[in-house]
Amino acid sequence: MTQLALFDLDHTLLPCDSDYEWGQFLARIGVVDGDFYAKQNERFYQDYKEGNLDIQEFLRFALKPLSEHSRAQLKEWHDAFMKEVIHGQLRQQAIDLVKRHQDAGDLCCVITATNSFVTRPIVESFGIKHLIATEPATIANDPLANYTGEVKGIPNFRAGKVQNLHDWLTAQKLSFDQMPRSYFYSDSMNDLPLLEEVSNPVATNPDERLRHEAIKRNWPILELFA
């Protein structure tokens, strides 16, 4: 029977935050106002780590640059971002973790709050086909059209990850009841709702709050980048 292996992305499979790094990259190349964007980016990043992130406010900020440029221009910048930032952050330990699940025949999926424009090429670098992410809305809901700066559906954050996962499983004609085991690897206390949902939660490179929770609940702790 199919087993499910879910992976958070930022600070779980990657030793960095791809959303934050994308914002820093845009500031470096002059696409956004450097000082303002860097300060706001840092503020949201700290709010996320402390568990105080206003996801709607953050997404209005993060998705705005996508709405101001063509898809072709965005792809050109993202290709450069992959080469200059992300490729150097791919770690063999994380690749090996994914491969162990793939070799076992598990259904592998990255589930991340970071939007799919930023994350899909990164996820593909791990050889993972499936991605559940915050989805940027497009003009007239055309998947190839330019972005609007709004969110399509439920932001993939905290309880939203659980809802979006169940919707995705339904689309795959699957459910938790059909799977003997379900794994979720995450670094963040923000992911507690989904960690509680699976049969095998794994605190991976955990922040201090999640580390404390994992010890209390006797969940395994995995340090990929130690």
- What local confidence, expressed as pLDDT, does residue 76 receive? 98
**At 198, phi and psi to the nearest 5?**
-90, 165
* Domains detected in the chain: 4-15+90-222 (3.40.50.1000), 18-88 (1.20.1440.100)
pLDDT of 37 > 90? The answer is no
What are the pLDDT digits (tens) for 54-92? 999 999 999 999 999 999 999 999 999 999 999 999 999
Catalytic residues: 8, 10
Rounded Cα distance, 133 and 124, in Å = 13
What are the pLDDT digits (tens) for 135-193? 999 999 999 999 999 999 999 999 999 999 999 999 999 999 899 999 999 999 999 99
Q: Which helix (H) or strand (E) holds 112?
A: strand 107-115
- What tokens does 130 get? 């499936």
Judged on CB neighbours under 10 Å (0-12, 13-18, 19+), 220 is exposed
Q: Which amino acid makes up residue 166?
A: H
pTM of this structure? 0.97
Q: Which helix (H) or strand (E) holds 132?
A: strand 130-138
Rounded Cα distance, 17 and 15, in Å = 7
Q: What residues contact residue 188 under an 8 Å CB cut-off, 6+ apart?
A: 8, 11, 12, 48, 206, 207, 210
